[in-house]
Amino acid sequence: MDVHGITGAAVLEQVRRRPAHRRRVLFSGGTVVTMDPALGVIDGGDLLVEGDTITAVGRGLDAGDGAVVVDVGGAILVPGFVDTHRHAWQTQLRRIMPDVDDLGGYVTATLAGHARVYRPEDMYTGTRLAALSAIDSGITTMLDFSHNSRTREHTDAAIEALLATGIRGVHASMGPHFGDWDRQWPGDLARVKDRYFSSDDQLLTLRLAALATDEIAGPLLAYGPGLARTAQELGIGVSVDAVFGTASSEAVLRWAANNVLGPDVTLIHATGLTSDAWRAVGETGTTVALAPTSDAQIGLETAIPAVDEALAAGVRPGLSIDVEVALAGDMFTQMRALHAIQRMRAVNAAYGTDRQPARITTRDVLDFATLQGARTNGLAGLTGSLTPGKKADLLVVQAEDLNNMPLNDPIGTVVLGSDARNISAVLIDGEPRKWDGRVLDVDLAALRAEVHASRAHLLAPENRPGLG
């Protein structure tokens, strides 16, 4: 057996020398945070990856001859994070509006403005940049809510970008809100499925994306029995964005009455919903994707992430990034924001009384960011926990770095102490995608040139279309 520490090109070469389907890698001597309720946290633990699959976790595992044994002492093994909703095509416009005050400001500038001049190559560039950045920060699964599919070529470019990065990607396809487009959606989804999603054993999966109501962009994009039937015929799930307030609450009750809610439907945001709507969500097993910083920073409806409402309805939500034009793009920020906001809200509600505040924990938010995110994306059988039989989507987080030492509580260290610099390795489907703190197989100079050229096109004076 070849025994190595986690750092260094020699270790990576040893791993990659083996054909992927015959590769065996044993991560040895770390703290294994499985996020599997039956397995818990294993101190001084080992994790064995064979091919693309986790085959064993425990202590003192024997990988046998021919395996690479990687010493991860002083590190934490944790499932890869799962992003349940991000508009990846916008990424070359990162933080262009960091202080946007409301949803209208975002919609006017981005969806009614910049989106109209996107070419297929801009879709590719933004989506690829988002996926690579996600991998760098430990997100191994990303749902791309791709709502700028103006042509078939725009759709294909977004999917090809996911394929190019090796991320476990979920392409959720929707037509654009405003401007000229080919009106090929949702009819084109059958072609898309046949071309890119013909196998169940692949990194990418397909979903239908829709809006909750017709208030912003008209009835074509609003979820209802028609789009539900399309998704059912294709055998794919549905992700519904902009679910908030009275109109969305009424829509949720209509969907329940029409039997178009269920575990294969995800409601995004879910802020400001009525108690009746939440009851329908819970009773139907519908999943929920929270966007903690989006709700709070942009001020969506109540501006309070609906974690308490979800939990009260029996729903453990996933977490998501939403829009990098105004927000941070990493899962650490989402976990910390939700943890702080919910605990502040709980204590404030009980202040001056004899009631005990019901506070979520760091384990809760890590669960939301991993296992519940996978369930929300329809992938709980594949990823979200370090369970034998699941795909090897995992992170190696350095717990003895300057900002983390000494390791006292591994979950607290991941949620409250760590960031992308502490992630020394990322595996997706058993394949190293980040190693020795560096995202692999990326020409950063070429990527930077591509991103800047795309941004220059989008912001060129002649590409500032009038609104309407």
Lowest mean pLDDT among 24-33, 77-86, 195-204, 399-408: 195-204
Fold assignment, 81-376: TIM Barrel (3.20.20)
Strand partners, 53: 50, 391
DSSP character for 391? B
pLDDT in tens, 282-332: 999 999 999 999 999 999 999 999 999 999 999 999 999 999 999 999 999
Domain edges within the chain: 2-80+384-436, 81-376
Closest CA relative to residue 98, chosen from 298, 301, 295: 298
Q: Does the structure show a pLDDT above 90 at 334? A: yes
Per-residue pLDDT band for 200 (boundaries 50, 70, 90) equals confident
Contacts of 430 (CB under 8 A, 6+ apart): 20, 23, 25, 49, 50, 51, 52, 53, 391, 392
Q: Phi then psi for 169, rounded to 5 degrees?
A: -105, 145
Could you count the other beta carbons within 10 Å of the beta carbon of residue 140? 29
Task: Kindly state the tokens that stand for 258.
Answer: 């029409």
Per-residue pLDDT band for 63 (boundaries 50, 70, 90) equals confident
Fold assignment, 2-80+384-436: Urease, subunit C; domain 1 (2.30.40)
**2-80+384-436 and 81-376 agree in CATH topology:** no
Query: What pLDDT score does 208 carry?
Result: 98
Q: How far apart are CA 252 and CA 254, in angstroms?
A: 5
Q: How far apart are CA 192 and CA 355, in angstroms?
A: 54
Whether the full predicted model's pTM is greater than 0.85, yes or no, is yes
Average pLDDT, the chain: 95
Mean pLDDT of 393-399: 98
Per-residue pLDDT band for 18 (boundaries 50, 70, 90) equals confident
327: amino acid identity, one letter: L
CA–chain centroid gap for 327, Å, is 14
